Structure 1
């Protein structure tokens, strides 16, 4: 597992009483495998990992891996506030048959470089699975410096970096800088859907939650960007950008659940304490999706 290409992060669907809808989750993963994404990542931010119990996270991982049936690799998020819980999650993921792990520096008190280094070393020693580091400073209040990333890449099974940036120029500069700091092969992927649908960054991977709901359209755009097909990328970007901008303007997770409803997925509302996005937004999302479908096909 090298964490390259289009990596889809499905939401965790819930029933009306707030329980996980495992059959719907399995159907979503099966659909993503058929859609031709390069990997599926469960228990990411999009998957509401922070609101699930340990037993639920284990079952989500097993459900997704079974549903994929080996057609597409499934990687599992293992982030948690405590290192003990992170290590337990890494073991559970390996036992479930995960192809890799995604790790972000989650903590009630923002972590230091030394603490992130120590935690990553512990995970690397616990499992031989490939590890993708996730830079999500808006949530974790920890922003990976590239010197630290290069140091962590010295660990044999740290193979990827899921990164974010305020604009394409900054991401591309970080991409080039990391290459200059390490001789190790690394997938430097992009997290940030507005930058993806801008069509200005290929990166080694796109890590996306909305792309798990719109895999065909994200694949079309990514393939055009990677191949340098500027006209096709322009067509995709023109219709996708307004839709994704509208989703991003809604609350994280809540906006994805509303988009799922518009896409005909029985995802339910997010788990409390998160409240659903206003139902009044559903009509506008539906209109924007209609434009995408009319332009790019269904």
Structure 2
């Protein structure tokens, strides 16, 4: 499984009565594929993994696999209680997914050997596993190497943002495991920290902005890999920076704003589920302005409903 380019983490759309709208999800993914992502990560954090039932999770994964039709790898979120994680992993395997992004287990705390047993049990379901380091999962280099040795574990996505620790983890795994192990920058609005992560050899990153402004996300990646520092700097300053400031106002906005952004661009993805909350009217107006600014910077047509 080879991943490159911008990684697409689609939203999970809901109908007005609260059901998963698989038809809208298919439209959302198909639209994203037109912009050439390097992989699709369905039912993950941006896809409100925390709020999906096992059946809803399976429906989302089946939709992503069918829509993508082998054009790029599809990885599914899995995690939480071990029983749920095993069922999610089995369903994803049966649906034809290419791998899993393993979310941290919730509530229960354990020593490192307990977490390793959790990872091993999920990996034994047969799909390649990318570990997600965030919240209660904070790995030291030795533990990261031990987890990377588990058969089926192929990557580590970092959502904590401790560059010093992450650099030591990268160096240890590359020394002990080799260059084939994948590393991801998985911070919310990861583009803002891309220069720092690239400095420690972590080039892959997830892009939440791709969900509602794929033109901006792809232009940023193109400028980044092409060495166009003027475009990178302007997008960081005028689009990503203000987006991060807005995101930081309310807990959960890392997902709520993304879903609101998709609605502003005309895709009826529905609301977020509790405990997330919708952006205020004032924040929606600011989001529309930020999106219009980003689209203008990359020469894309501004199609934000209610934009300024």
Q: Same fold (TM over 0.5)?
A: yes
Q: 1:96-175 residue pairs with structure 2 within 5 A?
A: 96-127=95-126, 129-137=127-135, 141-166=136-161, 171-172=166-167, 174-175=169-170
Tell me if structure 2 keeps the 8 A contact 1:6–1:207. Answer: yes
- State the 1:32 CA deviation: 1.4
The corresponding residue for 2:72 is: 72
The corresponding residue for 2:231 is: 232
- State the 1:28 CA deviation: 0.6
Under a length normalisation based on structure 2, what TM-score does the superposition of the two structures give? 0.87
Under a length normalisation based on structure 1, what TM-score does the superposition of the two structures give? 0.89
User: Taking structure 1 as reference, are residues 164 and 57 closer, same or farther at Cα in structure 2, changes over 3 Å only?
Assistant: closer
The corresponding residue for 2:303 is: none
| 1:202-221 alpha-carbon deviations (Å, 9 max, x no partner) | 32311232333222322222
User: Given the alignment, which residue of 172, 176, 183 partners 2:178?
Assistant: 183
- State the 1:159 CA deviation: 1.0
Tell me if structure 1 keeps the 8 A contact 2:207–2:217. Answer: no
Distance 1:231 1:248 in 2: 26
Tell me if structure 2 keeps the 8 A contact 1:2–1:160. Answer: no
Tell me if structure 2 keeps the 8 A contact 1:26–1:63. Answer: yes
| 1:95-152 alpha-carbon deviations (Å, 9 max, x no partner) | 101011110222222333111100111122221x221000111xxx221223222112
Distance 2:158 2:194 in 1: 17
The aligned length equals 293
Structure of higher RCO (CA pairs closer than 8 Å, 6+ residues apart): 1
- State the 1:248 CA deviation: 4.3
User: Taking structure 1 as reference, are residues 110 and 264 closer, same or farther at Cα in structure 2, changes over 3 Å only?
Assistant: farther
- State the 1:163 CA deviation: 0.8
| 1:224-247 alpha-carbon deviations (Å, 9 max, x no partner) | 223333223223222222134323
The corresponding residue for 2:62 is: 62
User: Taking structure 1 as reference, are residues 223 and 187 closer, same or farther at Cα in structure 2, changes over 3 Å only?
Assistant: farther
Distance 2:16 2:44 in 1: 22
Q: Secondary structure at the match of 1:189?
A: strand
RMSD, aligned α-carbons: 2.1
Q: Secondary structure at the match of 2:72?
A: coil
The corresponding residue for 1:268 is: 270
Of 266-275 and 37-46, deviating more is 266-275
The corresponding residue for 1:52 is: 52
Gaps of 5+ in 2: 301-308
Gaps of 5+ in 1: none
- State the 1:76 CA deviation: 0.4
Of 239-248 and 151-160, deviating more is 239-248
- State the 1:174 CA deviation: 4.3
Q: 1:75-94 residue pairs with structure 2 within 5 A?
A: 75-81=75-81, 83-94=82-93
The corresponding residue for 1:296 is: 298
Where do 4+ consecutive residues of structure 1 move more than 4 Å? 167-174
